[in-house]
Amino acid sequence: MELFVLTVPDDMKGEHDILLSLFEEGLPVLHVRKPGYGREQYENWISCIPEKYHKCLVLHNYWDLANKYAVKGIHGCSEDFPVKNRSRSCSCHSFNELLQLTHNYDYCFLSPVFNSISKKGYRAAFSHSDLSKFLMHYGSRISVVALGGIDEANIMQVREMGFDGAAVLGALWENSGRDAVVNFNKMREILCKTPVC
C-alpha cells in the first residue's frame, strides 16, 4: 500500500524544507494542493522543489505545467483533459461517484473516511463496515485511496477495510509540521508492516 501526502493548502513557513526531508525519507507521491495560488505563485512553489523530486509531484491546479516540470501526474482534471504519460487521479465523496468513474483515472481519493484533522467539523461520511463491503465488491476498477482524518492511530484500519492506499494531510502538518517526518515514518511503517514499502 502506498502512502500519499497532500500539501497544506496555504503558505507555511519551512514547508519546502520539511518536504525535502520527506522526499529524502522516501515519500513517493506528493499532491500539490494550493487552491488559493495564482499560476505564477503555483509555478514558483514547484520550482522550489529539487528537480529530481518533480517525478513525485501530482498537480491539483494548472495541469498544463505537468509536461514542463515532468511531474508524476495531475489531479481533479476532467477526463478529456489532454495529458500524456502522467497519472490521473480525482476525488470522490460517495460510493455513487466512484461507481460512475471510467478507467481514465489511475486512482481516486475517497473521503472523508475518518473525522478530519485539518478541517474541524468535517465528519466521516461512511461506516467502516460499509466501506469494507463496498471495497470488497468494487474490485480493481480504479485504485481507491483513503483520505480524511488518517493518523498513526487509525491507519491500520485503512488496510483492514481494503483500501489500496492512504493519503494524509492534517496528521503531518499540524503543529506547523514539526513532527512531519517522524509521523510519516510511523504511518508508513504501520501501513507497510515494514520500515520501507
Instruction: Indicate whether 6 pLDDT > 90.
Output: yes
Give the DSSP H/E element, type plus range, for residue 107: strand 107-110
Q: What pLDDT does 193 receive? A: 67
Among the residue ranges 21-30, 162-171, 173-182, the one predicted with the least confidence is 173-182
Domain coordinates in residue numbering, the chain: 2-192
Q: What is the mean pLDDT of residues 131-136?
A: 93
Dihedral in degrees, nearest 10, Cα atoms 8, 9, 11, 15:
20
SS3 content of the chain, % helix, strand, coil (to 5): 40, 15, 45
Q: What pLDDT does 56 receive? A: 97
Band the pLDDT of 82: cuts 50, 70, 90.
confident
Taking phi over 0 as left and psi of -120 to 50 as alpha, with beta for the rest, 112 belongs to beta
Say if residues 131 and 161 touch (Cβ distance below 8 Å). yes
Q: What is the mean pLDDT of residues 71-83?
A: 84
pLDDT digits (tens, 9 = 90+) for 16-67: 999 999 999 999 999 999 999 999 999 999 999 999 999 999 999 999 999 8
Q: What percent of the chain has pLDDT over 90?
A: 71
**Distance separating alpha carbons of residues 54 and 70, to the nearest angstrom:** 6
Calculate the average pLDDT of the chain: 90
pLDDT digits (tens, 9 = 90+) for 148-166: 999 999 999 999 999 999 9
Q: What is the mean pLDDT of residues 121-145?
A: 87
Largest CA distance in the chain: 44
Instruction: Indicate whether 192 pLDDT > 90.
Output: no
Arch. (CATH architecture) of 2-192: Alpha-Beta Barrel (3.20)
Instruction: Indicate whether 115 pLDDT > 70.
Output: yes
